[in-house]
């Protein structure tokens, strides 16, 4: 049963859609081959025309760029290659003039090892910054060999602890060696985080995307993690650091600042499958975060032990994931963030639709429809609106730049130098899952370098050669393009706000491995979102699936909605390859 309207909390951040920008690959304004903030400013009209309300800017602060800016050495200044604080102020102003907001990325689980805090912290055991990071003495095994304090694995391969010769202790780094974890138990660290937030909010930023924010409270016993992968000494310790003991206490403090500024917040939360625990962070009356990013649907193709091992999944798995969170958040006054892609994920047309090139556009439109008309705030990642795809299969490993992927590759070469099969398989998996897939420059035109940078410049990462066909210039004025279809979906969502933002959600034709369909209902208004996930034509029985009659065609991915209603008048409807259709139906 749909919930009475009076019980629903309305909020501006529920109604918005967000566009994510990863600055290095967006638009280069000065032909040095690296995207920059003036480049982003030059594209604000393009973003606005897509129907976006909020722009999320990935880290642009000073950084040695070991992990593309997620290793920050100064939170108060901007990396030279991207511009200046004044450029960010101009960007904020440019967004505001167009009625859009700007989010900054808040990366405070760790800093760069080049941050002043860490330099001081590692200088001596009695430095006042020692406690800002997590330092522990070594353990010794039976042979007397020095071992890290526990067996936790780093997200970027190997032990999560690094030995520091100078002071004779290990420090914790859940990510790269150059990304030491901050110690949130120490009050000055939390104060420093609050100061950073206020600084950017005072500059006019409208909120934050918070990097791995559920890792900031760790179990202070730092216990060994259970052994799941017997092939390695290093195990996932997430049980002891994901949603740790003091997380909500810390979130309450963040929430107070956010509320003061009426700011937007989305927290990145890997590993968490417990709906109740997520709810504690996002329930409306808790005043912690607005929403979080879930990981189950993007981990769907990972191997048992490792992301870069082959994994398989079924459409029903994906549907079950959405159904669970959609229903739970609706019933419990929480809220979802909806995304297929971001800078850590491959392109959705490859991962979810696995579509042949001839179906690229249809698959992209279908995925847009399924995602954005669910209950939640939709996030569009740069290039997704153009139907950009993964890197070409024939690309050499030298084209890959991501530390996650390259660390994996180098370890493989070291440990299995003559295992060509394992190397071949890893290479295939990189082309499917490496973060590089989402990081190639945005394809603005069919010019050399895709118009991302000057024709004679050398882009920091190669542009996908398919830019000659797939690019923004070809799409903005083509009514049938992926770009304009995304704009239609986002407009439709706003036009029928009650249904698509505030309505209830029910999965339809649950067990199908070919169709992803759901209904959204608000009081007596009901819509059906129906999509074909195959490259064949399907016959779909509307009656057995409980559809009582079609009032109006709201959207169709193949054609305009004019004169197509009779297609949906009988009992059985024919769906073309990857077709998406949205209908107003009898409640």
Q: Which residues bind Ca ion (CB under 5 A)?
A: 28, 30, 32, 34, 36
Q: Please choose, from the candidates 11, 107, 4, 104, the residue with its C-alpha nearest in 3D space to the C-alpha of residue 57.
A: 104
Judged by CB, which is closer to Ca ion: 83, or 503? Answer: 83
Provide the minimum distance between the beta carbon of 197 and Ca ion in the complex, in angstroms, as a whole number: 28
Judged by CB, which is closer to Ca ion: 29, or 183? Answer: 29
DSSP three-state, residue 386: helix
Mark 150-179 with x for binding to ligand GLC (rule: CB under 6 A) and - for no binding.
Answer: -------------------------x----
Among 104, 212, 461, 555, binds ligand GLC (CB under 6 A): 212
70 binds, among ligand GLC, Ca ion, none (CB under 5 to 8 A by kind): ligand GLC
Query: Would you list the DSSP string of 115-161?
Result: SHHHHHHTT-TTSTTGGGB-EE--EE-TT--EE-SS-BBPTTSSBSE
SS3 labels along 569-586: CCCEEEECCCCEEEEEEC
32 binds, among ligand GLC, Ca ion, none (CB under 5 to 8 A by kind): Ca ion
Cα-flanking dihedrals φ and ψ of residue 244, to 5°?
-75, 180
Mark 300-329 with x for binding to ligand GLC (rule: CB under 6 A) and - for no binding.
Answer: ------------------------------
Judged by CB, which is closer to Ca ion: 30, or 316? Answer: 30
Q: Please choose, from the candidates 448, 213, 459, 482, the residue with its C-alpha nearest in 3D space to the C-alpha of residue 347.
A: 482
State yes or no: residue 263 binds ligand GLC (CB under 6 A): no
Tokens of 413: 């070469």
Judged by CB, which is closer to ligand GLC: 122, or 173? Answer: 173
113 binds, among ligand GLC, Ca ion, none (CB under 5 to 8 A by kind): none
DSSP three-state, residue 389: coil
State yes or no: residue 107 binds ligand GLC (CB under 6 A): yes
580 binds, among Ca ion, ligand GLC, none (CB under 5 to 8 A by kind): none
Residue number, nearest CB to Ca ion? 36
341 a catalytic residue: no
Among 28, 36, 53, 67, binds ligand GLC (CB under 6 A): 67
Residue number, nearest CB to ligand GLC? 70
Query: Would you list the DSSP string of 505-526?
Result: EEEESTT-SSEEEEEEEETTEE
For the range 283-288, what are the long-range contacts, defined as Cβ-Cβ under 8 Å and sequence gap of 24 or more? 283/332, 283/333, 283/334, 284/9, 284/11, 284/333, 284/334, 284/335, 285/333, 286/255, 287/252, 287/255, 287/256, 287/258, 287/259, 288/248, 288/251, 288/252, 288/254, 288/255
State yes or no: residue 211 binds ligand GLC (CB under 6 A): yes
DSSP three-state, residue 349: helix
Catalytic residue among 81, 211, 288, 402: 211
Provide the minimum distance between the beta carbon of 33 and Ca ion in the complex, in angstroms, as a whole number: 7
State yes or no: residue 507 binds ligand GLC (CB under 6 A): no
Judged by CB, which is closer to ligand GLC: 268, or 504? Answer: 268
Provide the minimum distance between the beta carbon of 87 and Ca ion in the complex, in angstroms, as a whole number: 11
67 binds, among Ca ion, ligand GLC, none (CB under 5 to 8 A by kind): ligand GLC
Among 13, 19, 61, 70, binds ligand GLC (CB under 6 A): 70
Query: What is the DSSP pairing of strand 207-210 with strand 101-106?
Result: parallel
Query: What is the DSSP pairing of strand 146-147 with strand 139-140?
Result: antiparallel
Pick out residues in 23-62 that bind ligand GLC (CB under 6 A). Answer: none
State yes or no: residue 340 binds ligand GLC (CB under 6 A): no
Judged by CB, which is closer to ligand GLC: 353, or 442? Answer: 442
How far apart (Å, rounded) are the C-alpha atoms in residues 349 and 281? Answer: 31
Judged by CB, which is closer to ligand GLC: 62, or 526? Answer: 62
Provide the minimum distance between the beta carbon of 560 and ligand GLC in the complex, in angstroms, as a whole number: 38
Catalytic residue among 169, 206, 268, 341: 268
State yes or no: residue 215 binds ligand GLC (CB under 6 A): no
Provide the minimum distance between the beta carbon of 189 and ligand GLC in the complex, in angstroms, as a whole number: 16
Those residues whose C-beta lies under 8 Å from the C-beta of residue 65, and which sit 6 or more positions away, are 71, 79
DSSP three-state, residue 406: helix
The distance from CA 425 to its chain's CA centroid, rounded to whole angstroms, is 26
Judged by CB, which is closer to Ca ion: 34, or 281? Answer: 34
Neighbours of 223 (CB within 10 A): 13
The distance from CA 514 to its chain's CA centroid, rounded to whole angstroms, is 25
CA angle 282, 218, 436 (to 5 degrees): 75
Judged by CB, which is closer to Ca ion: 30, or 445? Answer: 30
Q: Could you give the count of Cα atoms lying within 13 Å of 220 in the half-sphere of its Cβ?
A: 7
Q: In Å, what is the CA distance from 572 to each residue of 80, 343, 382, 519, 564?
A: 60, 40, 37, 18, 15
Provide the minimum distance between the beta carbon of 41 and Ca ion in the complex, in angstroms, as a whole number: 12
Number of H helices and number of E strands within the chain?
17, 22
268 a catalytic residue: yes
Query: Which residues of the chain form contacts with ligand GLC (CB under 6 A)?
Result: 67, 70, 107, 175, 211-212, 268, 343-344
- Enzyme catalytic residues: 211, 268
């Amino acid at each position: 049963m749909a919930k009475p309207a009076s019980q629903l909390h309305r909020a501006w951040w529920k109604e918005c859609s967000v566009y994510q920008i990863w600055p290095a690959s967006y638009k280069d304004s000065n032909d040095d081959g690296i995207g920059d903030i003036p480049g982003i400013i030059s594209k604000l009209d393009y973003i606005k025309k897509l129907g976006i309300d909020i722009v999320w800017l990935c880290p642009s602060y000073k950084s040695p760029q070991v992990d593309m800016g997620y290793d920050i050495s100064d939170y108060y200044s901007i990396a030279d290659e991207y511009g200046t604080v004044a450029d960010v102020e101009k960007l904020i102003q440019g967004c505001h003039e167009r009625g859009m907001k700007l989010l900054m990325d808040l990366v405070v689980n760790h800093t760069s090892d080049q941050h002043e805090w860490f330099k001081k912290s590692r200088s001596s055991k009695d430095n006042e910054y020692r406690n800002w990071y997590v330092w522990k003495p070594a353990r010794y095994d039976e042979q007397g060999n020095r071992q890290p304090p526990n067996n936790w694995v780093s997200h970027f391969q190997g032990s999560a602890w690094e030995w520091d010769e100078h002071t004779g202790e290990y420090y914790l780094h859940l990510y790269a060696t150059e990304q030491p974890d901050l110690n949130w138990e120490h009050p000055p660290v939390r104060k420093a985080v609050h100061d950073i937030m206020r600084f950017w909010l005072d500059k006019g930023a409208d909120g934050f995307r918070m990097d791995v924010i559920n890792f900031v409270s760790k179990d202070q016993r730092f216990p060994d993690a259970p052994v799941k992968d017997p092939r390695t000494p290093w195990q996932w310790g997430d049980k002891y650091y994901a949603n740790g003991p003091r997380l909500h206490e810390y979130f309450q403090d963040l929430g107070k600042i956010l509320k003061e500024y009426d700011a937007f917040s989305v927290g990145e939360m890997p590993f968490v499958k417990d709906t109740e625990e997520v709810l504690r962070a996002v329930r409306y009356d808790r005043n912690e975060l607005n929403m979080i990013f879930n990981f189950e649907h993007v981990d769907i193709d990972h191997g048992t032990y490792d992301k870069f091992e082959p994994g398989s999944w079924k459409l029903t798995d994906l549907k079950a994931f959405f159904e669970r969170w959609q229903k739970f958040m609706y019933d419990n006054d929480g809220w979802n963030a909806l995304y297929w892609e971001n800078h850590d994920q491959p392109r959705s047309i490859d991962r979810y639709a696995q579509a042949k090139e001839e179906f690229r556009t249809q698959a992209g439109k279908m995925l847009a429809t399924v995602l954005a008309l669910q209950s939640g705030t939709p996030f569009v990642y740069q290039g997704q609106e153009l139907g950009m795809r993964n890197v070409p299969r024939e690309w050499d490993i030298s084209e890959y730049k991501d530390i996650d992927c390259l660390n994996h590759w180098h370890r493989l070469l070291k440990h299995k130098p003559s295992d060509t099969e394992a190397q071949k398989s890893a290479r295939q998996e990189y082309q499917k899952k490496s973060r590089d897939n989402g990081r190639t420059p945005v394809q603005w035109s069919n010019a050399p370098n895709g118009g991302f940078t000057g024709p004679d410049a050398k882009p920091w990462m190669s542009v996908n050669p398919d830019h000659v066909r797939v690019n923004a210039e070809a799409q903005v004025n083509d009514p049938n393009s992926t770009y304009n279809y995304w704009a239609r979906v986002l407009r439709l969502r706003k036009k029928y706000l009650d249904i698509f933002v505030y309505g209830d959600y029910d999965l339809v034709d649950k067990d199908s491995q070919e169709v992803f369909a759901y209904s959204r209902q608000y009081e007596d208004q009901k819509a059906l979102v129906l999509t074909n996930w195959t490259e064949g034509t399907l016959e779909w029985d509307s009656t057995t699936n409980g559809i009582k009659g079609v009032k109006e065609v709201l959207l169709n991915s193949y054609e305009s909605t004019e004169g197509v209603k009779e297609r949906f008048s009988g009992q059985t409807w024919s769906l073309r390859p990857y077709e998406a259709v949205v209908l107003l139906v009898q409640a």
